[in-house]
Structure 1
Protein backbone atom coordinates (compact mmCIF):
# COMPACT_ATOMS: atom_id res chain seq x y z
CA UNK A 1 0.00 0.00 0.00
CA UNK A 2 1.34 3.40 -1.02
CA UNK A 3 1.55 6.42 1.28
CA UNK A 4 -1.24 8.23 -0.59
CA UNK A 5 -3.56 5.23 -0.34
CA UNK A 6 -2.79 4.86 3.35
CA UNK A 7 -3.67 8.49 3.96
CA UNK A 8 -7.02 8.13 2.20
CA UNK A 9 -7.95 5.10 4.32
CA UNK A 10 -6.68 6.72 7.52
CA UNK A 11 -8.69 9.88 6.87
CA UNK A 12 -11.86 7.89 6.22
CA UNK A 13 -11.43 5.88 9.42
CA UNK A 14 -10.81 8.95 11.54
CA UNK A 15 -13.74 10.82 10.03
CA UNK A 16 -15.96 7.93 11.09
CA UNK A 17 -14.38 8.14 14.57
CA UNK A 18 -15.35 11.81 14.80
CA UNK A 19 -11.84 13.26 14.71
CA UNK A 20 -11.50 17.02 14.50
CA UNK A 21 -11.53 18.20 10.85
CA UNK A 22 -8.80 20.70 11.77
CA UNK A 23 -6.51 17.90 12.98
CA UNK A 24 -7.15 15.91 9.81
CA UNK A 25 -6.52 18.98 7.67
CA UNK A 26 -3.14 19.42 9.39
CA UNK A 27 -2.25 15.75 8.93
CA UNK A 28 -3.31 15.86 5.29
CA UNK A 29 -0.87 18.70 4.65
CA UNK A 30 1.95 16.75 6.31
CA UNK A 31 1.08 13.69 4.25
CA UNK A 32 1.29 15.71 1.03
CA UNK A 33 4.59 17.37 2.00
CA UNK A 34 6.19 14.07 2.97
CA UNK A 35 5.10 12.42 -0.28
CA UNK A 36 6.47 15.38 -2.26
CA UNK A 37 9.80 14.91 -0.44
CA UNK A 38 10.27 11.13 -0.65
CA UNK A 39 7.83 10.10 -3.35
CA UNK A 40 4.69 7.98 -3.08
CA UNK A 41 6.48 5.02 -1.54
CA UNK A 42 5.08 1.76 -0.27
CA UNK A 43 4.42 1.94 3.47
CA UNK A 44 6.94 -0.83 4.18
CA UNK A 45 9.66 1.16 2.39
CA UNK A 46 9.48 4.00 4.93
CA UNK A 47 11.97 3.61 7.77
CA UNK A 48 12.94 5.60 10.84
CA UNK A 49 16.01 7.19 9.23
CA UNK A 50 13.90 8.46 6.33
CA UNK A 51 11.37 10.09 8.67
CA UNK A 52 14.13 11.54 10.85
CA UNK A 53 15.92 13.01 7.81
CA UNK A 54 12.69 14.59 6.58
CA UNK A 55 12.00 16.19 9.97
CA UNK A 56 15.60 17.32 10.43
CA UNK A 57 15.75 19.28 7.18
CA UNK A 58 13.53 22.05 8.61
CA UNK A 59 14.30 21.61 12.29
CA UNK A 60 16.56 24.67 12.48
CA UNK A 61 13.84 27.07 11.33
CA UNK A 62 10.86 25.51 13.10
CA UNK A 63 9.71 26.09 16.63
CA UNK A 64 9.76 22.93 18.78
CA UNK A 65 5.96 22.99 18.89
CA UNK A 66 5.76 23.07 15.07
CA UNK A 67 8.20 20.18 14.83
CA UNK A 68 6.17 18.24 17.38
CA UNK A 69 3.05 18.80 15.29
CA UNK A 70 4.78 17.30 12.26
CA UNK A 71 5.75 14.28 14.33
CA UNK A 72 2.11 13.76 15.34
CA UNK A 73 1.24 12.92 11.75
CA UNK A 74 3.85 10.16 11.54
CA UNK A 75 3.00 8.75 14.98
CA UNK A 76 -0.72 8.68 14.25
CA UNK A 77 -0.68 7.27 10.73
CA UNK A 78 1.97 4.59 11.24
CA UNK A 79 0.47 3.48 14.55
CA UNK A 80 -2.82 3.08 12.72
CA UNK A 81 -1.15 1.23 9.81
CA UNK A 82 0.49 -1.22 12.24
CA UNK A 83 -2.79 -1.82 14.07
CA UNK A 84 -4.62 -2.43 10.77
CA UNK A 85 -1.92 -4.88 9.65
CA UNK A 86 -0.67 -2.85 6.70
CA UNK A 87 2.92 -2.83 8.04
CA UNK A 88 4.89 -5.28 10.18
CA UNK A 89 6.67 -2.63 12.28
CA UNK A 90 6.16 1.04 13.14
CA UNK A 91 9.01 3.24 11.81
CA UNK A 92 7.73 6.23 13.81
CA UNK A 93 7.73 4.42 17.16
CA UNK A 94 11.15 5.82 18.11
CA UNK A 95 10.22 9.46 17.48
CA UNK A 96 10.59 11.60 20.59
CA UNK A 97 8.99 15.00 20.92
CA UNK A 98 11.49 17.88 20.94
CA UNK A 99 12.19 19.50 24.26
CA UNK A 100 9.91 22.48 24.62
CA UNK A 101 10.22 25.29 27.11
CA UNK A 102 7.20 26.05 29.21
CA UNK A 103 4.96 28.38 27.26
CA UNK A 104 3.06 30.95 29.27
CA UNK A 105 -0.15 32.05 27.55
CA UNK A 106 -0.42 35.78 26.91
CA UNK A 107 -3.43 37.61 28.31
CA UNK A 108 -4.83 41.13 28.04
CA UNK A 109 -5.33 43.33 31.07
CA UNK A 110 -8.75 44.75 31.90
CA UNK A 111 -7.93 48.18 30.50
CA UNK A 112 -7.07 46.66 27.11
CA UNK A 113 -10.25 44.60 27.14
CA UNK A 114 -12.35 47.71 27.81
CA UNK A 115 -10.49 49.62 25.07
CA UNK A 116 -11.30 46.78 22.69
CA UNK A 117 -14.96 46.92 23.69
CA UNK A 118 -15.14 50.67 23.18
CA UNK A 119 -13.61 50.31 19.71
CA UNK A 120 -16.44 48.09 18.44
CA UNK A 121 -18.70 49.91 15.96
CA UNK A 122 -21.42 47.39 15.11
CA UNK A 123 -23.58 44.91 17.03
CA UNK A 124 -21.67 42.12 15.24
CA UNK A 125 -18.32 43.37 16.53
CA UNK A 126 -19.64 43.86 20.06
CA UNK A 127 -21.21 40.38 20.06
CA UNK A 128 -18.03 38.68 18.82
CA UNK A 129 -15.81 40.31 21.45
CA UNK A 130 -18.27 39.54 24.25
CA UNK A 131 -18.72 35.91 23.21
CA UNK A 132 -14.97 35.27 23.05
CA UNK A 133 -14.13 37.08 26.29
CA UNK A 134 -17.07 36.02 28.48
CA UNK A 135 -17.37 32.36 27.40
CA UNK A 136 -13.67 31.51 26.93
CA UNK A 137 -14.53 29.48 23.83
CA UNK A 138 -11.99 28.37 21.26
CA UNK A 139 -12.39 29.96 17.85
CA UNK A 140 -13.40 26.65 16.25
CA UNK A 141 -16.12 26.23 18.87
CA UNK A 142 -17.52 29.68 18.13
CA UNK A 143 -17.42 29.07 14.36
CA UNK A 144 -19.58 25.95 14.83
CA UNK A 145 -22.10 27.54 17.20
CA UNK A 146 -25.74 27.71 16.16
CA UNK A 147 -28.31 30.21 17.36
CA UNK A 148 -30.35 27.33 18.72
CA UNK A 149 -27.55 26.44 21.15
CA UNK A 150 -28.36 29.50 23.29
CA UNK A 151 -30.35 29.18 26.52
CA UNK A 152 -31.36 32.79 27.19
CA UNK A 153 -32.83 32.07 30.61
CA UNK A 154 -29.61 30.54 31.98
CA UNK A 155 -27.39 32.66 29.73
CA UNK A 156 -25.57 29.57 28.56
CA UNK A 157 -24.61 27.80 25.33
CA UNK A 158 -23.77 24.22 24.44
CA UNK A 159 -20.52 24.03 22.48
CA UNK A 160 -18.70 21.12 20.87
CA UNK A 161 -15.05 21.16 21.91
CA UNK A 162 -11.99 19.06 21.20
CA UNK A 163 -12.63 15.36 20.85
CA UNK A 164 -16.25 16.13 19.93
CA UNK A 165 -16.97 16.72 23.62
CA UNK A 166 -19.97 18.84 24.51
CA UNK A 167 -19.82 21.33 27.36
CA UNK A 168 -21.92 24.18 28.65
CA UNK A 169 -20.45 27.67 28.70
CA UNK A 170 -21.95 30.81 30.19
CA UNK A 171 -22.10 34.45 29.20
CA UNK A 172 -22.82 37.76 30.89
CA UNK A 173 -25.81 40.11 30.73
CA UNK A 174 -23.74 42.48 28.57
CA UNK A 175 -23.01 39.63 26.15
CA UNK A 176 -26.72 38.70 26.03
CA UNK A 177 -27.67 42.31 25.23
CA UNK A 178 -25.24 42.54 22.32
CA UNK A 179 -26.21 39.13 20.96
CA UNK A 180 -29.87 40.17 20.91
CA UNK A 181 -29.01 43.48 19.24
CA UNK A 182 -26.96 41.59 16.67
CA UNK A 183 -29.73 39.09 15.94
CA UNK A 184 -32.25 41.94 15.63
CA UNK A 185 -29.99 43.57 13.04
CA UNK A 186 -29.93 40.45 10.89
CA UNK A 187 -32.46 39.84 8.13
CA UNK A 188 -31.25 36.38 7.11
CA UNK A 189 -32.51 32.90 7.95
CA UNK A 190 -29.09 31.36 8.58
CA UNK A 191 -28.98 29.34 11.80
CA UNK A 192 -25.29 30.02 12.52
CA UNK A 193 -24.46 32.23 15.50
CA UNK A 194 -22.29 34.53 13.39
CA UNK A 195 -22.64 35.10 9.65
CA UNK A 196 -20.64 37.04 7.10
CA UNK A 197 -21.27 40.73 6.61
CA UNK A 198 -21.34 40.10 2.88
CA UNK A 199 -24.29 38.42 1.14
CA UNK A 200 -23.68 35.89 -1.65
CA UNK A 201 -25.63 35.51 -4.88
CA UNK A 202 -24.86 31.79 -4.86
CA UNK A 203 -26.62 31.57 -1.49
CA UNK A 204 -29.75 33.31 -2.74
CA UNK A 205 -28.62 36.67 -1.45
CA UNK A 206 -27.99 35.23 2.01
CA UNK A 207 -24.80 35.46 4.10
CA UNK A 208 -22.69 32.41 4.91
CA UNK A 209 -21.63 31.11 8.32
CA UNK A 210 -18.59 33.07 9.43
CA UNK A 211 -15.43 31.00 9.08
CA UNK A 212 -12.54 30.80 11.51
CA UNK A 213 -10.47 33.07 9.26
CA UNK A 214 -13.27 35.62 9.07
CA UNK A 215 -13.81 35.63 12.84
CA UNK A 216 -10.09 36.16 13.35
CA UNK A 217 -10.12 39.01 10.81
CA UNK A 218 -12.98 40.84 12.57
CA UNK A 219 -11.12 40.66 15.90
CA UNK A 220 -7.97 42.02 14.20
CA UNK A 221 -10.02 44.82 12.64
CA UNK A 222 -11.32 45.89 16.04
CA UNK A 223 -7.85 45.68 17.57
CA UNK A 224 -6.34 47.89 14.84
CA UNK A 225 -9.04 50.46 15.48
CA UNK A 226 -8.26 50.28 19.21
CA UNK A 227 -4.54 50.70 18.57
CA UNK A 228 -3.71 47.42 20.32
CA UNK A 229 -1.21 45.05 18.72
CA UNK A 230 -1.13 41.27 18.72
CA UNK A 231 -4.78 40.58 19.54
CA UNK A 232 -6.36 37.31 18.44
CA UNK A 233 -9.31 35.17 19.62
CA UNK A 234 -7.21 32.71 21.62
CA UNK A 235 -5.69 35.63 23.52
CA UNK A 236 -9.22 36.54 24.62
CA UNK A 237 -9.61 32.96 25.85
CA UNK A 238 -6.40 33.33 27.87
CA UNK A 239 -7.70 36.63 29.22
CA UNK A 240 -10.94 34.94 30.27
CA UNK A 241 -9.02 32.28 32.21
CA UNK A 242 -6.80 34.89 33.84
CA UNK A 243 -9.82 36.95 34.85
CA UNK A 244 -11.31 33.89 36.56
CA UNK A 245 -8.03 33.14 38.31
CA UNK A 246 -7.67 36.72 39.56
CA UNK A 247 -11.15 36.45 41.04
CA UNK A 248 -10.21 33.33 43.04
CA UNK A 249 -11.90 30.72 40.84
CA UNK A 250 -10.50 27.23 41.67
CA UNK A 251 -8.40 25.63 38.95
CA UNK A 252 -10.85 22.73 38.69
CA UNK A 253 -13.64 25.19 37.86
CA UNK A 254 -11.51 26.99 35.26
CA UNK A 255 -10.61 23.59 33.77
CA UNK A 256 -14.30 22.77 33.39
CA UNK A 257 -15.13 26.14 31.83
CA UNK A 258 -12.25 25.92 29.34
CA UNK A 259 -12.92 22.30 28.42
CA UNK A 260 -9.40 21.12 29.28
CA UNK A 261 -9.10 17.35 29.61
CA UNK A 262 -6.08 17.64 31.92
CA UNK A 263 -5.67 19.89 34.95
CA UNK A 264 -2.00 20.33 34.04
CA UNK A 265 -3.06 22.35 31.00
CA UNK A 266 -5.11 24.68 33.17
CA UNK A 267 -2.36 24.91 35.78
CA UNK A 268 -0.29 26.98 33.33
CA UNK A 269 -2.58 29.89 34.11
CA UNK A 270 -1.58 29.78 37.76
CA UNK A 271 1.87 30.88 36.62
CA UNK A 272 0.51 33.45 34.22
CA UNK A 273 -1.07 36.26 36.15
CA UNK A 274 1.29 38.85 37.53
CA UNK A 275 -1.66 40.56 39.20
CA UNK A 276 -2.63 37.37 41.01
CA UNK A 277 0.96 36.85 42.18
CA UNK A 278 1.07 40.42 43.49
CA UNK A 279 -2.18 39.87 45.40
CA UNK A 280 -0.86 36.72 47.04
CA UNK A 281 2.45 38.41 47.92
CA UNK A 282 0.62 41.24 49.67
CA UNK A 283 -1.60 38.75 51.47
CA UNK A 284 1.12 36.47 52.79
CA UNK A 285 4.16 38.73 53.21
Structure 2
Protein backbone atom coordinates (compact mmCIF):
# COMPACT_ATOMS: atom_id res chain seq x y z
CA UNK A 1 0.00 0.00 0.00
CA UNK A 2 1.56 3.33 -0.97
CA UNK A 3 2.24 6.31 1.31
CA UNK A 4 -0.47 8.47 -0.25
CA UNK A 5 -3.13 5.94 0.63
CA UNK A 6 -1.81 5.66 4.21
CA UNK A 7 -1.93 9.46 4.58
CA UNK A 8 -5.60 9.53 3.58
CA UNK A 9 -6.31 6.64 5.95
CA UNK A 10 -4.77 8.30 9.00
CA UNK A 11 -6.30 11.68 8.20
CA UNK A 12 -9.75 10.11 7.96
CA UNK A 13 -9.24 8.02 11.10
CA UNK A 14 -8.23 11.16 12.98
CA UNK A 15 -11.24 13.15 11.72
CA UNK A 16 -13.66 10.31 12.48
CA UNK A 17 -12.36 9.94 16.03
CA UNK A 18 -12.47 13.70 16.68
CA UNK A 19 -16.03 14.03 15.31
CA UNK A 20 -17.15 11.06 17.41
CA UNK A 21 -15.59 12.33 20.65
CA UNK A 22 -16.71 15.97 20.30
CA UNK A 23 -20.22 14.99 19.14
CA UNK A 24 -20.58 12.66 22.12
CA UNK A 25 -19.36 15.26 24.59
CA UNK A 26 -21.52 18.12 23.31
CA UNK A 27 -24.46 16.03 22.07
CA UNK A 28 -24.14 17.23 18.46
CA UNK A 29 -26.92 16.35 16.01
CA UNK A 30 -26.28 14.98 12.50
CA UNK A 31 -26.11 18.44 10.87
CA UNK A 32 -23.60 19.69 13.46
CA UNK A 33 -21.52 16.53 12.96
CA UNK A 34 -21.43 17.14 9.20
CA UNK A 35 -20.33 20.77 9.71
CA UNK A 36 -17.57 19.68 12.12
CA UNK A 37 -16.52 16.94 9.70
CA UNK A 38 -16.26 19.45 6.81
CA UNK A 39 -14.28 21.93 8.92
CA UNK A 40 -11.78 19.24 9.95
CA UNK A 41 -11.39 18.08 6.35
CA UNK A 42 -10.59 21.65 5.27
CA UNK A 43 -8.16 22.17 8.14
CA UNK A 44 -6.25 18.95 7.36
CA UNK A 45 -6.31 19.31 3.58
CA UNK A 46 -2.59 20.10 3.32
CA UNK A 47 -1.60 18.24 6.49
CA UNK A 48 -0.18 14.73 6.62
CA UNK A 49 -1.23 12.87 9.75
CA UNK A 50 0.93 9.87 10.62
CA UNK A 51 0.71 7.22 13.33
CA UNK A 52 3.55 7.25 15.88
CA UNK A 53 2.94 3.55 16.46
CA UNK A 54 1.55 0.96 14.10
CA UNK A 55 -2.21 0.63 14.52
CA UNK A 56 -3.86 -2.75 14.42
CA UNK A 57 -6.99 -3.23 12.36
CA UNK A 58 -9.51 -1.94 14.91
CA UNK A 59 -12.88 -3.16 13.64
CA UNK A 60 -14.90 -0.62 15.66
CA UNK A 61 -12.85 2.30 14.31
CA UNK A 62 -13.55 1.15 10.75
CA UNK A 63 -17.26 0.86 11.55
CA UNK A 64 -17.18 4.49 12.74
CA UNK A 65 -15.44 5.56 9.53
CA UNK A 66 -18.02 3.68 7.46
CA UNK A 67 -20.90 5.19 9.47
CA UNK A 68 -19.46 8.67 8.91
CA UNK A 69 -19.32 8.00 5.16
CA UNK A 70 -22.96 6.87 5.14
CA UNK A 71 -24.01 10.02 7.01
CA UNK A 72 -22.29 12.17 4.40
CA UNK A 73 -24.18 10.24 1.70
CA UNK A 74 -27.44 11.19 3.44
CA UNK A 75 -28.56 7.73 4.57
CA UNK A 76 -31.31 7.71 7.20
CA UNK A 77 -30.09 7.48 10.84
CA UNK A 78 -32.13 4.30 11.35
CA UNK A 79 -30.52 2.65 8.33
CA UNK A 80 -27.02 3.56 9.55
CA UNK A 81 -27.83 2.32 13.05
CA UNK A 82 -29.05 -1.06 11.75
CA UNK A 83 -26.00 -1.55 9.52
CA UNK A 84 -23.61 -0.69 12.35
CA UNK A 85 -25.42 -3.07 14.70
CA UNK A 86 -24.99 -5.93 12.19
CA UNK A 87 -21.29 -5.15 11.77
CA UNK A 88 -20.71 -4.97 15.53
CA UNK A 89 -22.34 -8.39 15.87
CA UNK A 90 -19.89 -9.70 13.26
CA UNK A 91 -16.99 -8.17 15.20
CA UNK A 92 -18.11 -9.82 18.46
CA UNK A 93 -18.30 -13.20 16.73
CA UNK A 94 -14.93 -13.03 14.92
CA UNK A 95 -12.79 -11.03 17.40
CA UNK A 96 -10.01 -10.70 14.80
CA UNK A 97 -7.79 -8.00 13.34
CA UNK A 98 -9.77 -6.76 10.34
CA UNK A 99 -6.78 -7.35 8.04
CA UNK A 100 -6.73 -11.04 8.99
CA UNK A 101 -10.40 -11.76 8.30
CA UNK A 102 -10.88 -14.32 5.52
CA UNK A 103 -13.82 -15.40 3.38
CA UNK A 104 -13.90 -18.61 5.45
CA UNK A 105 -14.42 -16.52 8.61
CA UNK A 106 -17.32 -14.68 6.99
CA UNK A 107 -18.90 -17.92 5.73
CA UNK A 108 -18.69 -19.40 9.24
CA UNK A 109 -20.49 -16.34 10.57
CA UNK A 110 -23.22 -16.65 7.93
CA UNK A 111 -23.69 -20.33 8.89
CA UNK A 112 -23.90 -19.26 12.53
CA UNK A 113 -26.62 -16.69 11.76
CA UNK A 114 -28.50 -19.05 9.44
CA UNK A 115 -29.84 -21.11 12.34
CA UNK A 116 -31.97 -18.27 13.75
CA UNK A 117 -32.51 -15.92 10.80
CA UNK A 118 -35.02 -15.79 7.99
CA UNK A 119 -33.51 -15.99 4.51
CA UNK A 120 -34.40 -12.37 3.78
CA UNK A 121 -32.76 -11.22 7.03
CA UNK A 122 -29.67 -13.29 6.27
CA UNK A 123 -29.38 -11.68 2.83
CA UNK A 124 -29.62 -8.24 4.41
CA UNK A 125 -26.71 -9.16 6.69
CA UNK A 126 -24.69 -10.47 3.73
CA UNK A 127 -25.38 -7.27 1.74
CA UNK A 128 -24.27 -5.15 4.72
CA UNK A 129 -21.03 -7.13 5.15
CA UNK A 130 -20.21 -6.96 1.41
CA UNK A 131 -20.87 -3.21 1.26
CA UNK A 132 -18.70 -2.61 4.34
CA UNK A 133 -15.67 -4.54 3.10
CA UNK A 134 -16.05 -3.15 -0.43
CA UNK A 135 -15.93 0.36 1.04
CA UNK A 136 -12.80 -0.43 3.06
CA UNK A 137 -11.08 -1.98 0.05
CA UNK A 138 -12.06 0.84 -2.34
CA UNK A 139 -10.85 3.47 0.13
CA UNK A 140 -7.54 1.69 0.70
CA UNK A 141 -8.06 0.68 4.33
CA UNK A 142 -7.58 -3.02 3.52
CA UNK A 143 -5.64 -4.61 0.67
CA UNK A 144 -8.06 -7.41 -0.23
CA UNK A 145 -11.83 -7.77 0.09
CA UNK A 146 -12.67 -11.02 1.98
CA UNK A 147 -16.38 -10.66 1.19
CA UNK A 148 -15.94 -10.59 -2.59
CA UNK A 149 -16.94 -14.24 -3.03
CA UNK A 150 -19.83 -14.18 -0.57
CA UNK A 151 -23.12 -15.11 -2.24
CA UNK A 152 -26.67 -14.40 -1.13
CA UNK A 153 -28.77 -17.37 -0.06
CA UNK A 154 -31.71 -18.36 -2.23
CA UNK A 155 -34.94 -16.82 -1.00
CA UNK A 156 -38.38 -18.28 -1.34
CA UNK A 157 -40.37 -15.65 -3.22
CA UNK A 158 -43.62 -14.94 -1.43
CA UNK A 159 -46.21 -12.29 -2.10
CA UNK A 160 -46.83 -9.80 0.68
CA UNK A 161 -50.01 -10.25 2.70
CA UNK A 162 -52.81 -7.73 2.44
CA UNK A 163 -56.14 -7.10 4.13
CA UNK A 164 -59.40 -8.15 2.50
CA UNK A 165 -62.09 -5.50 1.94
CA UNK A 166 -64.15 -6.97 4.79
CA UNK A 167 -61.25 -6.97 7.25
CA UNK A 168 -60.28 -3.44 6.27
CA UNK A 169 -63.84 -2.30 6.96
CA UNK A 170 -63.72 -3.99 10.37
CA UNK A 171 -60.52 -2.09 11.14
CA UNK A 172 -62.18 1.18 10.16
CA UNK A 173 -65.20 0.54 12.37
CA UNK A 174 -63.00 -0.39 15.33
CA UNK A 175 -61.55 3.14 15.50
CA UNK A 176 -63.01 4.83 18.60
CA UNK A 177 -61.93 8.40 17.82
CA UNK A 178 -61.61 10.66 14.79
CA UNK A 179 -57.81 10.73 14.98
CA UNK A 180 -57.50 6.96 14.58
CA UNK A 181 -60.06 6.82 11.76
CA UNK A 182 -58.23 9.60 9.91
CA UNK A 183 -54.91 7.81 10.51
CA UNK A 184 -56.20 4.48 9.15
CA UNK A 185 -57.78 6.07 6.06
CA UNK A 186 -54.75 8.20 5.30
CA UNK A 187 -52.25 5.36 5.79
CA UNK A 188 -54.28 3.07 3.54
CA UNK A 189 -54.94 5.55 0.72
CA UNK A 190 -51.41 7.02 0.62
CA UNK A 191 -49.31 3.88 1.13
CA UNK A 192 -46.89 5.81 3.34
CA UNK A 193 -44.41 4.14 5.65
CA UNK A 194 -45.07 4.57 9.38
CA UNK A 195 -41.94 6.74 9.75
CA UNK A 196 -43.26 9.01 6.98
CA UNK A 197 -46.68 9.25 8.64
CA UNK A 198 -45.12 10.28 11.94
CA UNK A 199 -43.18 13.15 10.35
CA UNK A 200 -46.13 14.72 8.48
CA UNK A 201 -47.25 18.28 9.18
CA UNK A 202 -50.68 19.69 8.34
CA UNK A 203 -49.09 22.15 5.91
CA UNK A 204 -47.66 19.24 3.89
CA UNK A 205 -51.12 18.32 2.58
CA UNK A 206 -52.60 20.01 -0.48
CA UNK A 207 -56.34 19.49 -0.06
CA UNK A 208 -57.14 21.05 -3.44
CA UNK A 209 -55.26 18.31 -5.34
CA UNK A 210 -55.16 15.53 -2.69
CA UNK A 211 -51.39 15.44 -2.98
CA UNK A 212 -48.35 15.85 -0.79
CA UNK A 213 -44.60 15.63 -1.10
CA UNK A 214 -42.76 13.30 1.27
CA UNK A 215 -39.09 12.56 1.93
CA UNK A 216 -38.69 8.82 2.34
CA UNK A 217 -35.89 6.25 2.55
CA UNK A 218 -32.49 7.39 1.36
CA UNK A 219 -33.60 11.02 1.72
CA UNK A 220 -35.52 10.67 -1.57
CA UNK A 221 -38.45 12.99 -2.22
CA UNK A 222 -41.58 11.73 -3.98
CA UNK A 223 -45.13 12.88 -4.64
CA UNK A 224 -47.93 10.93 -2.99
CA UNK A 225 -51.71 11.07 -3.34
CA UNK A 226 -54.56 10.43 -0.91
CA UNK A 227 -58.26 9.66 -1.44
CA UNK A 228 -61.33 11.85 -1.02
CA UNK A 229 -62.43 9.54 1.80
CA UNK A 230 -59.12 10.14 3.59
CA UNK A 231 -59.52 13.88 3.04
CA UNK A 232 -63.02 13.76 4.54
CA UNK A 233 -61.82 12.07 7.75
CA UNK A 234 -58.67 14.18 7.99
CA UNK A 235 -60.76 17.38 7.82
CA UNK A 236 -63.19 16.02 10.40
CA UNK A 237 -60.30 15.28 12.68
CA UNK A 238 -58.61 18.66 12.16
CA UNK A 239 -61.89 20.52 12.74
CA UNK A 240 -62.21 19.04 16.23
CA UNK A 241 -58.63 19.81 17.26
CA UNK A 242 -58.00 22.74 19.59
CA UNK A 243 -54.20 22.64 19.69
CA UNK A 244 -51.66 24.60 17.63
CA UNK A 245 -49.20 21.76 17.00
CA UNK A 246 -48.09 21.68 13.34
CA UNK A 247 -48.11 17.84 13.26
CA UNK A 248 -50.82 16.09 11.25
CA UNK A 249 -51.34 13.45 13.93
CA UNK A 250 -51.11 14.33 17.62
CA UNK A 251 -52.05 12.63 20.90
CA UNK A 252 -55.75 12.59 21.81
CA UNK A 253 -55.00 13.92 25.30
CA UNK A 254 -53.14 17.00 26.51
CA UNK A 255 -50.57 18.31 25.80
CA UNK A 256 -51.55 17.22 22.22
CA UNK A 257 -48.05 16.60 20.92
CA UNK A 258 -46.95 14.82 17.72
CA UNK A 259 -47.27 11.05 17.95
CA UNK A 260 -44.20 9.12 16.88
CA UNK A 261 -43.68 5.87 15.03
CA UNK A 262 -43.99 3.74 18.17
CA UNK A 263 -47.23 5.42 19.23
CA UNK A 264 -48.77 4.79 15.81
CA UNK A 265 -47.76 1.14 16.00
CA UNK A 266 -49.38 0.87 19.44
CA UNK A 267 -52.68 2.17 18.05
CA UNK A 268 -52.64 -0.57 15.41
CA UNK A 269 -51.89 -3.16 18.11
CA UNK A 270 -54.86 -1.99 20.18
CA UNK A 271 -57.21 -2.33 17.20
CA UNK A 272 -55.74 -5.77 16.43
CA UNK A 273 -56.38 -6.92 19.99
CA UNK A 274 -59.89 -5.47 19.96
CA UNK A 275 -60.76 -7.39 16.79
CA UNK A 276 -58.85 -10.49 17.91
CA UNK A 277 -56.86 -10.38 14.66
CA UNK A 278 -53.70 -12.40 14.11
CA UNK A 279 -51.75 -9.37 12.86
CA UNK A 280 -52.25 -5.70 12.11
CA UNK A 281 -49.44 -3.19 11.71
CA UNK A 282 -48.96 0.02 9.67
CA UNK A 283 -46.92 -1.66 6.94
CA UNK A 284 -49.81 -4.09 6.33
CA UNK A 285 -51.89 -1.13 5.12
CA UNK A 286 -49.01 -0.22 2.80
CA UNK A 287 -49.13 -3.78 1.40
CA UNK A 288 -52.90 -3.51 1.03
CA UNK A 289 -52.58 -0.16 -0.77
CA UNK A 290 -50.05 -1.65 -3.22
CA UNK A 291 -52.13 -4.76 -3.84
CA UNK A 292 -55.33 -2.81 -4.45
CA UNK A 293 -53.62 -0.30 -6.73
CA UNK A 294 -51.79 -3.00 -8.70
CA UNK A 295 -55.10 -4.67 -9.56
CA UNK A 296 -55.85 -1.79 -11.95
CA UNK A 297 -52.72 0.36 -12.30
CA UNK A 298 -49.44 -0.28 -14.09
CA UNK A 299 -46.79 -1.69 -11.76
CA UNK A 300 -44.49 1.27 -12.49
CA UNK A 301 -47.16 3.60 -11.06
CA UNK A 302 -47.24 1.50 -7.88
CA UNK A 303 -43.46 1.62 -7.77
CA UNK A 304 -43.42 5.42 -8.02
CA UNK A 305 -46.06 5.96 -5.32
CA UNK A 306 -44.35 3.53 -2.94
CA UNK A 307 -40.96 5.14 -3.54
CA UNK A 308 -39.14 1.95 -4.54
CA UNK A 309 -35.85 2.19 -6.43
CA UNK A 310 -36.06 -1.42 -7.60
CA UNK A 311 -39.26 -2.61 -9.25
CA UNK A 312 -38.60 -6.16 -8.01
CA UNK A 313 -39.33 -4.86 -4.50
CA UNK A 314 -42.67 -3.54 -5.71
CA UNK A 315 -43.52 -6.91 -7.25
CA UNK A 316 -43.37 -8.49 -3.78
CA UNK A 317 -46.03 -6.08 -2.56
CA UNK A 318 -48.40 -6.42 -5.48
CA UNK A 319 -50.41 -9.60 -5.77
CA UNK A 320 -51.39 -10.25 -9.38
CA UNK A 321 -54.47 -12.47 -9.38
CA UNK A 322 -55.48 -14.93 -12.11
CA UNK A 323 -58.38 -12.77 -13.31
CA UNK A 324 -56.05 -9.88 -14.09
CA UNK A 325 -53.59 -12.21 -15.84
CA UNK A 326 -56.39 -13.67 -18.02
CA UNK A 327 -57.83 -10.24 -18.82
CA UNK A 328 -54.49 -8.67 -19.80
CA UNK A 329 -53.47 -11.73 -21.84
CA UNK A 330 -56.72 -11.56 -23.86
CA UNK A 331 -56.44 -7.78 -24.20
CA UNK A 332 -53.00 -8.18 -25.80
CA UNK A 333 -54.64 -9.99 -28.80
CA UNK A 334 -51.64 -12.25 -29.32
TM-score normalised by the chain length of structure 1? 0.87
- Check if 1:175 corresponds to 2:230: yes
Q: Is the contact made by 1:125 and 1:222 (CA closer than 8 Å) also made in structure 2?
A: no
Distance 1:105 1:188 in 2: 38
RMSD, aligned CA: 2.2
- Check if 1:254 corresponds to 2:302: yes
- Larger Rg computed on CA atoms: 2
Which range moves more in the overlay, 162-171 or 137-146?
A: 137-146
Unaligned runs of 5+ in 1: 200-204
CA deviation vs aligned residue, 1:191-247 (integer Å, no higher than 9, x gap): 333234565xxxxx562x32322211211212222333211111111111121233x
- Cα offset, 1:187, TM superposition: 4.0
Unaligned runs of 5+ in 2: 1-56
Distance 1:169 1:118 in 2: 25
Residue in structure 2 matching 1:107, options 150, 162, 169 = 162
Residue in structure 2 matching 1:166, options 215, 221, 226 = 221
CA deviation vs aligned residue, 1:135-191 (integer Å, no higher than 9, x gap): 011222222222221111111111112222111111112211222233344444433
Go from structure 1 to structure 2 and tell me whether the alpha carbon gap of 1:46 and 1:186 turns closer, same or farther (over 3 Å shift).
farther
Instruction: Work out the number of aligned pairs and report it.
Output: 273
Residue in structure 1 matching 2:261, options 178, 203, 212 = 212
Higher relative contact order (CA 8 A, sep 6+): 1
Which range moves more in the overlay, 223-232 or 102-111?
A: 223-232
Partner of residue 222, structure 1: 271
Residue in structure 1 matching 2:322, options 270, 277, 281 = 277
Partner of residue 23, structure 2: none
- Cα offset, 1:114, TM superposition: 0.9
TM-score normalised by the chain length of structure 2? 0.75
- Cα offset, 1:50, TM superposition: 1.5
Distance 2:253 2:125 in 1: 36
CA deviation vs aligned residue, 1:58-103 (integer Å, no higher than 9, x gap): 3122111111111122112111111211101111111111100112
Give SS of 1:159's match. strand
Mapping 1:65-214, distance limit 5 Å: 65-197=120-252, 205=255, 207=257, 209-214=258-263
